[in-house]
């Protein structure tokens, strides 16, 4: 697919399949390649759009800070360019924060929302301090930061089980610039809480939760999943459900987006 020009920078995306549109937004230190496997079953029945977010993959940097709102406006600009009016969103981690921003800023456009290993809460003060430490580490040596960060997204036992996949994800993340990493850390640090989106009666929400997610608090996630229009799916593993729970996740996506019937279960 050709890139789309947005504010004089190239935004990379893929657009495959046909039918109702599913928009996939990757997480921090990832790019649209993360969806290659779990999106395969969906392309038979849906139009699947996967986007490299600002500063990630083949999409260039916009500025020193990539706020979730900046990312949201870029995504909607791209979808407008593709003449896509209504769509469902699947956002992993940071992609979930951006999905919430899209649902907030463009409420009439989103018909279903999946928060995958993500949260509607803002950063705690402790988390903001850790973001600043991360920024300092990136400025010192961003390659070391990446090599330490990626394994820590998996459950402890899976760091050995998925060592090959961790190496691949790390190599992809090392393609990013230090500025792209910093801009996302700055943007995530200042994002607002958006729990109000979870309580929106007209918006079905799917939450993918990892019991051993090192990046998010499990109890906080299950508390957010108590809204009546939220469907929680709980896996036993970490933050990288598309790798740690690949087949179950793909099946869950296919089932949930094909049938608008809320069904809570543990994978």
Cα distances (Å, whole numbers) of residue 257 to 46, 73, 148, 201, 214: 9, 24, 35, 17, 27
Q: Between the CA atoms of 234, 238, 243 and 248, what dihedral angle is there, to the nearest 10 degrees?
A: -10
> How much of the chain exceeds pLDDT 90, in percent?
93
Six token digits for residue 197: 């989106």
Relative to beta strand 4-6, strand 9-11 is antiparallel
SS in 3 state form for the chain?
A: CCCEEECCEEECEEEEECCEEEEEECCCCCCHHHHCCCCCHHHHCEEEEEECCCCCCCCCCCCCCCCHHHHHHHHHHHHHHCCCCCEEEEEECHHHHHHHHHHHHCCCCEEEEEEECCCCCCCCHHHHHHHHHHHHHHHHHHHHHHHHHCHHHCCCCHHHHCHHHHHHHHHHHCCCCHHHHHHHHHHHHCCCCCHHHHCCCCCCEEEEEECCCCCCCHHHHHHHCCCCCEEEEEECCCCCHHHHCHHHHHHHHHHHHHCCCCCCEEC
CATH number of the domain that 90 lies in? 3.40.50.1820
pTM, 2 dp: 0.95
Report the pLDDT value the prediction gives residue 266, as an integer from 0 to 100. 39
Number of domains within the chain: 1
Asked whether the predicted pLDDT for residue 265 surpasses 70, the reply is: no
What is the number of other CB atoms lying within 10 angstroms of the CB of residue 84?
A: 16
Six token digits for residue 17: 């399949």
pLDDT in tens, 74-91: 999 999 999 999 999 999
Unique residue bearing structure tokens 């729970």: 245
**Mean local confidence (pLDDT), 223-237:** 96
- Alpha-carbon gap, residue 8 to 190, rounded angstroms: 25
**Mean local confidence (pLDDT), 117-130:** 97
Report the pLDDT value the prediction gives residue 259, as an integer from 0 to 100. 79
* Confidence class for position 201, pLDDT limits 50, 70, 90: confident
Report the pLDDT value the prediction gives residue 122, as an integer from 0 to 100. 98
Report the pLDDT value the prediction gives residue 117, as an integer from 0 to 100. 98
Give the count of alpha carbons within 13 A of 218, CB side only.
13
**Mean local confidence (pLDDT), 32-42:** 95
Q: Between the CA atoms of 90, 250, 19 and 231, what dihedral angle is there, to the nearest 10 degrees?
A: -50
Contact 25, 54 (CB under 8 A): no
Contact 34, 242 (CB under 8 A): yes
What range does the domain containing 250 cover? 4-266
């Amino acid at each position: 697919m050709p890139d789309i020009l947005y504010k004089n920078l190239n935004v990379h995306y893929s657009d495959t399949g046909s039918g109702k549109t599913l928009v996939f937004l990757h997480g921090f230190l990832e790019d649209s390649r993360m969806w290659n496997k779990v999106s395969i079953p969906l392309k038979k029945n849906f139009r699947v759009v996967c986007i490299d977010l600002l500063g990630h993959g083949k999409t260039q940097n916009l500025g020193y800070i990539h706020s979730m709102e900046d990312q949201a406006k870029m995504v909607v600009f791209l979808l407008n360019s593709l003449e896509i009016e209504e769509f469902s969103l699947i956002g992993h981690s940071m992609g979930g924060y951006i999905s919430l921003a899209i649902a907030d800023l463009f409420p009439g456009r989103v018909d279903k929302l999946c928060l995958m290993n993500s949260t509607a809460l803002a950063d705690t003060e402790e988390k903001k301090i850790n973001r600043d430490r991360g920024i300092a580490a990136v400025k010192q040596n961003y390659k070391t930061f990446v090599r330490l960060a990626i394994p820590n997204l998996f459950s402890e036992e899976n760091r050995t089980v998925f060592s090959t996949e961790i190496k691949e994800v790390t190599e992809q993340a090392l393609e990013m610039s230090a500025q792209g990493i910093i801009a996302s850390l700055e943007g995530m640090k200042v994002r607002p809480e958006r729990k109000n989106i979870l309580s929106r009666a007209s918006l079905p929400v799917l939450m993918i939760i990892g019991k051993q997610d090192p990046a998010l608090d499990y109890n906080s996630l299950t508390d957010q999943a108590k809204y009546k229009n939220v469907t929680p799916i709980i896996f036993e593993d970490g933050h990288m459900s598309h790798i740690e729970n690949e087949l179950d996740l793909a099946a869950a996506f296919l089932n949930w987006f094909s049938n608008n019937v809320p069904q809570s279960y543990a994978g």
